[in-house]
């Protein structure tokens, strides 16, 4: 009897592709590596993400890309570019609901197989030193509140990585060389949280 190889779809932006770090250091790849080490059979993650994408741009891309109809697991991490560009919260909420429903569709309507990560706080990075970090943090909290609310409604998992991202202020090793995105060390921390949830579902 052949072993089932699990499939995993990762949706997002620069944080999902691991901007400024090697592909294998991005959290989706590290999730798969952790699970393989623990004896679970996983295909390489399928990543649909691009640096700079807003919720609208990810949604547009999904409407025009042919993907597998269903995956065993789906992650979603999106919204920082909406905040960065100063786009309105209500438009973000509308797009986010669409994306969450898409994630559920790809998981074959299994909310326990969908993991949504909160938006990291780039206001704590050196890149933001000329900006109002307090305002950025407040805005990101507002976006994350919308994300968490809809995850609760749809009964998907929600992982808060925002607090961890703020530790970059005191721990520069959590940052990539561009001093805006996160290092493989930070991605590993996120990956461990997600991998633990995946493991629970497989067991």
Domain count, the chain: 1
Q: Is 15 among the domain residues?
A: yes
CA 20/CA 134 separation, integer angstroms = 25
Q: Is 166 among the domain residues?
A: yes
Q: Is 168 among the domain residues?
A: yes
Q: Count the Cβ atoms, other than its own, within 10 Å of residue 135.
A: 10
User: Which range marks the domain in which residue 88 is found?
Assistant: 8-202
Q: Coil, strand, or helix at residue 18? A: coil
- pLDDT per residue as tens, the chain (203 positions): 457 899 999 999 999 999 999 999 999 999 999 999 999 999 999 999 999 999 999 999 999 999 999 999 999 999 999 999 999 999 999 999 999 999 999 999 999 999 999 999 999 999 988 889 899 999 999 999 999 999 999 999 999 999 999 999 999 999 999 999 999 999 999 999 999 999 999 97
What is the pLDDT at residue 3? Answer: 73
Sheet with 157-159, edge to edge strand ranges: 46-49, 8-12, 73-77, 114-117, 157-159
CA 126/CA 129 separation, integer angstroms = 5
> CATH number, domain at 109?
3.40.50.1110
What is the pLDDT at residue 1? Answer: 46
CA 104/CA 126 separation, integer angstroms = 36
Q: Is 2 among the domain residues?
A: no
What is the pLDDT at residue 2? Answer: 57
Q: Is 3 among the domain residues?
A: no
Q: Is 1 among the domain residues?
A: no
CA 81/CA 83 separation, integer angstroms = 5
Q: Is 157 among the domain residues?
A: yes
- Residue 182 DSSP label: B
Q: Is 116 among the domain residues?
A: yes
Plot region of 45 (φ>0 → left; ψ -120 to 50 → alpha; else → beta): beta
What is the pLDDT at residue 129? Answer: 86
């Amino acid at each position: 009897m052949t072993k089932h190889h699990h499939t995993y779809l990762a949706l997002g932006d620069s944080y999902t592709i691991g901007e400024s770090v090697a592909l294998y250091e991005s959290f989706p790849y590290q999730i798969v590596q952790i699970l393989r080490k623990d004896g679970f059979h996983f295909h390489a993650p399928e990543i649909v993400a691009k640096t700079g994408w807003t919720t609208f741009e990810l949604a547009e891309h999904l409407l025009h890309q042919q993907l597998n109809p269903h995956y065993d697991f789906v992650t979603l991490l999106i919204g920082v570019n909406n905040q960065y560009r100063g786009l309105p919260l209500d438009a973000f909420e509308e797009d986010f609901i669409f994306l969450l429903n898409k994630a559920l569709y790809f998981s074959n309507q299994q909310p326990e197989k969908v993991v949504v990560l909160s938006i990291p706080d780039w206001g704590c990075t050196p890149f933001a030193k000329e900006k109002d970090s307090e305002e950025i943090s407040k805005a990101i909290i507002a976006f994350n509140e919308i994300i968490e609310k809809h995850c609760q409604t749809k009964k998907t998992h929600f992982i808060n990585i925002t607090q961890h991202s703020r530790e970059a202020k005191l721990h520069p090793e959590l940052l990539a060389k561009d001093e805006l995105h996160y290092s493989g060390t930070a991605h590993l921390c996120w990956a461990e949280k997600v991998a633990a949830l995946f493991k629970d579902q497989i067991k």
